[in-house]
A and B are shown apart, each in its own frame.
Chain A
Amino acid sequence: MDVSAADLQPDSFEELAMPLFEQLYNFAHWLTQNRDEAEDLVQETYAKALKGFVSFQPGTNFRAWMYRILRNTFLTSRTGLKATMTMPLDAEEDGPELAVERETPETILFERSDRELLQGALDQLPVHFREILLLCEVEEMSYQEISVALSIPMGTVMSRLSRARRALREEIRKMQGAGAKA
């Protein structure tokens, strides 16, 4: 979704931004985990984006730009500050990839796990893992887009994504274990 200089008319903001409305709201709700806060976050994002639209750099990715505004707005909110207290240092993440896990395919059966279980597991993840998984798997963003949206280097995108996927599998395993005991 690269935007050219010709597209950068004040009137074109609505045409570019409104098609992203549903997905931005979904992402905001996942971050805030609350409908009212998600609405406030989306509203503030649109207000900031409209105000800053004149400074948007033509030729760059508009979708990633909108997500970056939303995410930065979230990080400075009370909920965001609280949620990101466990955020890792990026320097720590740029190190070598951890050893590859050796799960057998039988350990987690995603094809049999229901949607609610997965949603519960995603809810339990730290926000920096949840957001990168959503951008990659749900929004189907490229690593480059994710790098822009989260303001992190490409190397960090790859390592954080890998850790996030592993954390999700761990969380599902825990929930399945708890369910089996119950």
Chain B
Amino acid sequence: MWRRPGESLVVGESIEIEVIEARPNRVKLGVVAPDSVSIVRKETRIIREENMTAAWSIDHGAIASLLRRFPR
């Protein structure tokens, strides 16, 4: 599918994605969607999951093991 700036595509009944600006290596998109739909960059979702694991996986044992890897 090819789109030009100012053109849109529609996903389902209630989501519209418009190409606002196109540059050689990036595009600016506008998204219209219901409040219940979360819109984030894909990498933000990946980082969110990574942060969750980072926050809940570390305990005293893990800290001791890290310190053995990075001695002062």
A interacts with B? no
Binding site for A on B (CB under 8 A): none
